Amino acid sequence: MRDASKVLSMSFFDYPMFTFYFPNRKRRARFLPWYFRNILNCAMSYGDVYTTPGITGVCFTLPPGHTELSLREYILNGFLPTPFVMGLRNYKRSMECERFVASAQKRLMEGRPHCYLWGLAVDPGQQAKGIGAALMEPVLRKAGDEKFPVYLETHDERNVSYYQKHNFNLIDTLSIPKYALPFWCMVWEPV
């Protein structure tokens, strides 16, 4: 878990959403590993986590019917001190963003059962070696076998072309209104 959260922290350190949630670089460096350990706790409790043997990459998903977690589920998996870790102002802003992103998923998927590709990260020194594709392969295979689409959003426009290479289609580009934070919504459809 520690190695996986470290990979996630390095990979997402300058990711727009996390620079917004943790604007201070020192606090971000300190608390992103904690944040990602809790995210992985949630994913292991309610979905699936995939890693490479040497933990150079991590992929985590939530299954159809459980693509949105409740506040209780987050708290049970380590997020109780979040307002103190982030600071009340940043916590409030992050919750507004999370609610907007979740409502977009719900609206765009229109009640269709789907898998949520919650996160995919590769150690920055190991990128462009096919690790991300290898981590997505079992997710897409399982979704294809079960005939479920796979939904994701990215807050970094550079990721759009990467996912398009893996047959995800861009279905909407949105911005969190109050904060002008853009994100791109994508879906992979089973054949």
The CATH T-level fold of domain 2-188 is Aminopeptidase (3.40.630)
Span 77-92, mean pLDDT?
92
* Residue of 80, 60, 83, 81 whose CA lies nearest to 71: 80
Span 6-24, mean pLDDT?
94
The fraction of the chain above a pLDDT of 90, given in percent, is: 94
* Residue of 156, 160, 163, 157 whose CA lies nearest to 139: 163
What is the model's pLDDT at position 129? 94
What is the C-alpha separation between 110 and 87, in angstroms, rounded? Answer: 34
| pLDDT exceeds cutoff 80 at 105 | yes
Span 98-124, mean pLDDT?
96
Output DSSP code: residue 175.
E
What is the model's pLDDT at position 97? 94
| pLDDT exceeds cutoff 90 at 111 | no
What is the model's pLDDT at position 186? 98
Q: What is the pLDDT of residues 115-147, one digit of tens each?
A: 999 999 999 999 999 999 999 999 999 999 999
What is the C-alpha separation between 149 and 63, in angstroms, rounded? Answer: 11
What is the model's pLDDT at position 191? 86
CB atoms within 10 A of CB 149: 18
What is the C-alpha separation between 191 and 184, in angstroms, rounded? Answer: 23
Please count the helices (runs of H) and the strands (runs of E) in the chain: 8, 6
Q: Residue ranges of the domains in the chain?
A: 2-188
Confidence of residue 3 (pLDDT cuts 50, 70, 90): very high
Span 59-86, mean pLDDT?
94
What is the C-alpha separation between 176 and 100, in angstroms, rounded? Answer: 7
Query: How far is C-alpha 64 from the chain's CA centre?
Result: 16
What is the C-alpha separation between 47 and 29, in angstroms, rounded? Answer: 26
